[in-house]
Amino acid sequence: MIMLKKFLVVMAAMAMPSLALAQPANPAPAPVTKEVAAPVVATPAAAAPVAAAAEAAPAAAAAPKSMDGSLPGYTPMRPDYANSVGMPKPKEVDFQEQFSDNGQYAKWINNAILLPIITIISLFVLGLLLWVIVRFNRRANPVPSKTTHNTFIEVVWTLIPVLILLGIAYPSLDLLAKQFKPAPANAVTIKATGYQWYWGYTYPDHGGFEVVSNMLKEEGDVAKGERFRTENDGPKLMAADNRMVVPAGVPLRIQTTAADVIHAFAVPSLWFKLDAVPGRLNEKSLTITKPGVYFGQCSELCGARHAFMPIVVEALPPEKFAAWVKAQGGTMPGAEKPAPAAPAVAAPAAAARHLWRRRRNPPAERGRVGGRPCHAHR
């Protein structure tokens, strides 16, 4: 029996070094138990928002993409085909109907001043030519006149053109000054950037988000499931997937630039045209007088697909414009930004710290830290 005990003691002594050497190969998880296990300890109330957010994320990601450009609280306005608002009319020879103050003034200058003057001068010159042909031909006037000059006629044909030019120059310069009048301080700023071959619209006053606008293709030109042009979007070659949405009746500050080559932002029914030059920021003011959809195009030759850069401006009442900005994730000027939500992992971390403190200060010692009363536990 004594020999058996000695044998067991010797065998145990020989096994101890091997166990000691084998232990580092499988380190104990002790260093991470406190830090990893503690965050798992959380109240049901703290874990509920995390679970709800995890369930809501797949639902949001699975939301179907709109095929007509609509957003929560916003549905694109249908163009007014019956009255050809904001678009060309068949067989039209006049300017498009204008929906800005400058455009209406420019059309009045054209119809009330320029066209009458042009018509009168053209008829006068035509009549003068016919009179000269009839009165001074060889048969009616065999002996030509030897008159070298006529002071009265020379004064008349000098003064009348000067007065005509002054009558045209004054309203023209006035219109030019109105077009480049600086926008007021409360104007809504939209930055239009030209790309080859699409447009980008940035709203710096509403959070700085950008809307990218591409021409909509016909149904037969797109793959199944992709968005194509419908009558609700606009005429062929003039409809865009995303419009430049602005408030109606509010001063606008339109800024243009380009990322590659020179483009031109032009909407005829708003009497607006401004070059978009790389490295340069051009600016003009505009006020749209009536809600509606207004179509334009890039008006500067910019490459192979220059003709496929439509511009669609949708003017909405201010309250609907605010709803569109909200749907885009932007904010209205002056609106208070919502406070950022606390991270979902903050509650488990706080619970872990509280549990760690409870372990360091058992109930018998709670209320005293380092031998002094702890006012936090009073």
Q: What is the mean pLDDT of the chain?
A: 80
pLDDT given for residue 159 in this prediction: 96
Task: Count Cβ atoms within 10 A of the Cβ of residue 215 and give its class: 0-12 exposed, 13-18 middle, 19 or more buried.
Answer: buried
pLDDT given for residue 352 in this prediction: 52
> What b/e readout covers 249-281, taking b as 16+ CB neighbours within 10 angstroms?
ebebbbbbbbeebebbbbbbbbbbbbbbbeeee
Q: How far apart are CA 152 and CA 132, in angstroms?
A: 19
pLDDT given for residue 91 in this prediction: 87
Name which residue leads in pLDDT, 339 or 256: 256
pLDDT given for residue 362 in this prediction: 53
Q: Using one digit for the tens of pLDDT, what is the confidence trace for 20-56?
A: 434 443 344 434 333 333 333 334 443 344 344 333 3
Q: How far apart are CA 51 and CA 356, in angstroms?
A: 24
Contact present, 363 and 357 (Cβ < 8 Å) = no
Q: Using one digit for the tens of pLDDT, what is the confidence trace for 217-234?
A: 999 999 998 999 999 999
Query: What φ, ψ does residue 76 adopt, rounded to 5°?
Result: -55, 140
In the chain, where does the domain assigned CATH 2.60.40.420 lie? 188-327
Contact present, 201 and 192 (Cβ < 8 Å) = yes
Q: What number is the average pLDDT over the span 295-303?
A: 96
pTM: 0.68
Q: What number is the average pLDDT over the span 320-333?
A: 93
Q: Which of 51-55, 159-163, 313-317 has the lowest mean pLDDT?
A: 51-55
Q: How far apart are CA 378 and CA 376, in angstroms?
A: 6
| CATH H superfamily, domain 188-327 | Cupredoxins -  blue copper proteins (2.60.40.420)
Query: What φ, ψ does residue 204 adopt, rounded to 5°?
Result: -65, -25
Which 8-state DSSP code applies to residue 240?
Answer: B
Q: Using one digit for the tens of pLDDT, what is the confidence trace for 186-210?
A: 999 999 999 999 999 999 999 999 9
Q: In whole angstroms, how far apart are CA 187 and each of 251, 285, 307?
A: 5, 8, 31
Structure tokens at 249: 């009746």
* Confidence band, pLDDT 50/70/90 cuts, at residue 19: very low
Q: Which of 22-26, 116-120, 314-318 has the lowest mean pLDDT?
A: 22-26
pLDDT given for residue 272 in this prediction: 96
Name which residue leads in pLDDT, 373 or 178: 178
Q: Which of 124-133, 296-305, 355-364 has the lowest mean pLDDT?
A: 355-364
pLDDT given for residue 357 in this prediction: 55
Q: What number is the average pLDDT over the span 333-342?
A: 63
pLDDT given for residue 29 in this prediction: 40
* Confidence band, pLDDT 50/70/90 cuts, at residue 144: confident
| H-run or E-run covering 314 | strand 310-316
Assign 285 to helix, strand or coil: strand
* Confidence band, pLDDT 50/70/90 cuts, at residue 67: confident
CB neighbour list of residue 228: distance below 8 Å, 6 or more residues apart: 216, 217, 218, 219, 221, 222
Which of 19, 232, 115 is CA-nearest to residue 107? 115
